[in-house]
Structure 1
Amino acid sequence: MSAVTASPFTTLSPTNASRTLPKITFVGAGSTVFAKNLIGDILSFPELAGSHLCLYDIDPDRLATSEVVATKVAQALGAPATVTTTTDRRRALEGANYVLTMIQVAGYKPGTVTDFEIPKRYGLHQTIADTLGIGGIMRGLRTIPVMLDIARDMEEVCPDALLLNYVNPMAMLCWALDRGSSIATVGLCHSVQGTAKELANDLGIPVAEIDYRCAGINHMAFYTRFERHGEDLYPALRRIAEEGRAPETNRVRYEMLRRLGYFVTESSEHFSEYVPWFIKRDRPDLIDRFAIPLDEYPRRCETQIARWDTMRDRYEGEEPITVERTHEYAGPIIHAMETGTPAVIYGNVPNRGLIDNLPQGCCVEVPCLVDANGVQPTTVGALPPHLAALMQTNVNVQALTVEAALTGNRDHIYHAAMVDPHTAAELDLDQIWSLVDDLIEAHGEWLPPFR
């Protein structure tokens, strides 16, 4: 990636950012595998090796495993880190300099199962359901209150900390946090850098040689520039699409490249449920043609659950842990802020003069400069109009879901589902209203009251 010009509009930086031994709190540390990767990234920087890692989770058993893993990671790296654990959230947050969130409210059961099974009764099928669609709406409604509770605790016990959010639905949560909290927040995803690596593999080019510029909204950002040594790589990508050489798992995105002229950052299984064109109950030919994995997320969850006992035994046993740095952004952000060494990341931040043709205040994904001054989003300007128009269809759903969550207005849940591209393509208005009612009832106390 090339350097970019910082925007004067927004700087996300806790005060007194530079410290010798930062306290880094992991909220949802029972997500052991993901926590392991982030801890390895952080401690692999010598300047961060002595950090205080505070692990918090509501599940004491998973937390105990994560403590063993964190200790093993530190040992593998020779890092003199301090590792503490607690099931008391405020205690975990007290005095933190950085807070990483990686939670799933209501878990796989009942949360994810409810999000998938009830819509199926209406003939509405999904792939991932964590970002948009009716599943993304419900996930947002049950997660926003919890994230705001975390932020309120932070306002009291670590008001200057930076919140690094990894929880989906990313855009909805970051937008709600910006409106409902004073805590500096940046949302982090791996789709931009992950897709760049996938495309490099498709082209047979080392990813380190690729230079790109990307912008949009989370899970629907597009590479506005994709080059190697100054050579535009889009013609080569278009040839892959035209010659039918797109990987089976990426047919949707290569089709969108043909139609839009730009490549989108999120995976085909995700993107297929953000638009009205690929998943249709009376068009199984589309599912086959584009290799769309319906119910993909529940399958992943079931596989992970089945493997957990074996993984836990291995983690807690005598076998040492191998640590390799990942492409996640949390480690480089903390390192840049603590040392002043500049880094460029893609972050999800409020649109305050960053993208001209998306609504002000919505959550956008843009290049950000990071150094001792904090996370500094960069000005993109106007996106190609057809890309902004497509993003706007998703922003509409995000806006109404956030409005429902912050105001308690039940009507806006119906409105969000009504304008959702995939839901609207499959169901009529009576079905949408009935579906929302069924989902709210099934969620029970996992949702706050709506009037």
Structure 2
Amino acid sequence: MTPPKIALVGAGSTVFAKNLLGDILSFPELAHADIRLFDVDAERLAVTEQVAHRVAQAVGAHPTVTATLDRHRALDGADFVINMIQVGGYRPATVTDFDVPTRHGLRQTIADTLGIGGIMRALRTVPVLLDMSRDMERLCPQTLHLNYVNPMAMNIMGLARQSSIRTVGLCHSVQHTASELAHDLGLRVEEIDFLCAGINHMAFYLKFEHRGEDLYPRLQALAASGQVPATNRVRYEMLRRLGYFVTESSEHFAEYVPYFIKRGRDDLIERFQVPLDEYPRRCEAQIGGWETLRAQLQNPDAPIDVQRSVEYGSLIIHSMVTGQPRVVYGNVMNTGGLIENLPHDCAVEVPCLVDRQGVQPTRIGRIPPQLAALMQTNINVQTLTTEALVTGHREHIYHAAMLDPHAAAELDLDQIWSLVDELLDAHGEFIPAELRRLQAAD
């Protein structure tokens, strides 16, 4: 068996890279893999290279590890490309996505998937992914691109419209939420049987069972009792209203809908424990602890903790290399109507069979109409943002923003237009030239 060539793009995300490498190299069939680490930050890349060797030693693997600042070298002949980049970084890009909207009266929690923050992240991310896909089309046209980068749906849609590279988007919200619900019910997640479908960060468990027992009555009773984890009040409230439980966390979901963050309604923030500005706080904490963490990871005398994560990336690679069939949840285009009552040109999150033939999405059919309708409010924003990126028509950025459920709950149309103008200016060269406010004609 020829060792697979696996490129990690954005490998300076050291902790995430460490987890993925531990997953990959712990499989005996992947223990001699050709690992290519690429990043634009030489210092962070050097740390990840050291960590990669330590992980390999810890699991008894013997991979070839190459660290490079040359993306072409990393991609050349790659069988798999794992993407974990963040265009613009926390500073200045993410800080801008929070600071500017706050000045305009728009409050956010995570701002990386939908809403004003998600739109701006897509505008600066999709062009970079497309540029990378052009390299892949030339250097490794048969590769499978495993995308971990947000905004997931808009990235998948933007690439599908403009690239021939096979791409599947990977997230951990499905498996994480299943574990949370099992914990809430006092059950082992390994004993839970579920079926989930929808769009990324807004997929719902259509079935959630334990040894043949439908667990929804127990979840509904828990929601009605009010004795739910404080950090999950938003999602349990939506269970009460919709009849199904959503995959993404409450701090994410609160800004995908117009019900929980509303101007003049701070009582809602308190009642549902909505963590405003959660993502900046999380990032600042990680930045503050990086030097200590780096020293630990680089210290050859300190033990390195390598445990299998819940990420699907290594499972997909292993199944495609060995032929062992598995089911994972992936984000793919809704080609052929995998979910019948969602648009065919949107990205959906569905169970996928993986074997030597690659990632094969499961056809779900129709989902409950109230779920499809709620998803459509998010798909509207995703579609219009993608249209702006593909056509270069700046007006669709404003259309996406005005149709965003959260922005519309807090701002009027003039405020939304003004906010988009300022954000496009503030992000400058991170935004494609044809979409920049001062360089595009109305």
TM-score by length of 2: 0.97
Higher relative contact order (CA 8 A, sep 6+): 1
Tell me which of 282, 287, 310 is aligned to 2:264: 282
Task: Please give the alpha-carbon distance, in whole angstroms, between the structure 2 residues aligned to 1:52 and 1:279.
Answer: 47
Gaps of 5+ in 2: none
The DSSP-based 3-state class of the residue aligned with 2:205 is strand
Q: Is 1:66 aligned to residue 48 of structure 2?
A: yes
For 1:321, the equivalent position in structure 2 comes to 304
Task: Please give the alpha-carbon distance, in whole angstroms, between the structure 2 residues aligned to 1:37 and 1:171.
Answer: 23
The DSSP-based 3-state class of the residue aligned with 2:378 is helix
Task: Please give the alpha-carbon distance, in whole angstroms, between the structure 2 residues aligned to 1:262 and 1:202.
Answer: 16
For 1:10, the equivalent position in structure 2 comes to none
Task: Please give the alpha-carbon distance, in whole angstroms, between the structure 2 residues aligned to 1:127 and 1:306.
Answer: 20
The DSSP-based 3-state class of the residue aligned with 1:393 is helix
For 1:347, the equivalent position in structure 2 comes to 330
Q: How does 1:79-98 map to 2 (within 5 A)?
A: 79-98=61-80
Q: Is 1:417 aligned to residue 401 of structure 2?
A: yes
For 2:8, the equivalent position in structure 1 comes to 26
Shift of 1:204: 0.3
Map Cα deviations across residues 367-398 of structure 1 (whole Å, 9 max, x no partner). 00000010000100001000000000000000
For 1:265, the equivalent position in structure 2 comes to 247
Map Cα deviations across residues 320-340 of structure 1 (whole Å, 9 max, x no partner). 312100100000000000000
For 2:386, the equivalent position in structure 1 comes to 402
Tell me which of 219, 225, 238 is aligned to 2:207: 225
Q: How does 1:15-414 map to 2 (within 5 A)?
A: 20-318=2-300, 319-352=302-335, 353-414=337-398
Task: Please give the alpha-carbon distance, in whole angstroms, between the structure 2 residues aligned to 1:342 and 1:418.
Answer: 44
Task: Please give the alpha-carbon distance, in whole angstroms, between the structure 2 residues aligned to 1:63 and 1:47.
Answer: 26
Task: Please give the alpha-carbon distance, in whole angstroms, between the structure 1 residues aligned to 2:256 and 2:202.
Answer: 9
- The question of whether the paired residues in 2 share the 8 Å contact of 1:176 and 1:402 is answered with yes
RMSD of aligned alpha carbons:
0.6
Task: Please give the alpha-carbon distance, in whole angstroms, between the structure 2 residues aligned to 1:177 and 1:130.
Answer: 18
- The question of whether the paired residues in 2 share the 8 Å contact of 1:72 and 1:320 is answered with no
Task: Please give the alpha-carbon distance, in whole angstroms, between the structure 1 residues aligned to 2:51 and 2:200.
Answer: 30
Task: Please give the alpha-carbon distance, in whole angstroms, between the structure 1 residues aligned to 2:375 and 2:290.
Answer: 37
Gaps of 5+ in 1: 1-18
Moved over 2 A (4+): none
Task: Please give the alpha-carbon distance, in whole angstroms, between the structure 2 residues aligned to 1:437 and 1:244.
Answer: 42
Tell me which of 413, 430, 435 is aligned to 1:429: 413
Task: Please give the alpha-carbon distance, in whole angstroms, between the structure 1 residues aligned to 2:376 and 2:409.
Answer: 16
Equivalent position amino acid for 2:152 in 1 = M
Shift of 1:281: 2.7
For 1:15, the equivalent position in structure 2 comes to none
- The question of whether the paired residues in 2 share the 8 Å contact of 1:127 and 1:294 is answered with yes
Task: Please give the alpha-carbon distance, in whole angstroms, between the structure 1 residues aligned to 2:384 and 2:392.
Answer: 11
Map Cα deviations across residues 214-247 of structure 1 (whole Å, 9 max, x no partner). 0000000000000011100001111111111110
- The question of whether the paired residues in 1 share the 8 Å contact of 2:329 and 2:351 is answered with yes
Equivalent position amino acid for 1:97 in 2 = D
Shift of 1:97: 0.3
Shift of 1:310: 0.4
Figure out how many residues of one structure are paired with residues of the other and give that number: 433
Task: Please give the alpha-carbon distance, in whole angstroms, between the structure 2 residues aligned to 1:120 and 1:79.
Answer: 48
Task: Please give the alpha-carbon distance, in whole angstroms, between the structure 1 residues aligned to 2:94 and 2:397.
Answer: 18
Shift of 1:20: 2.3
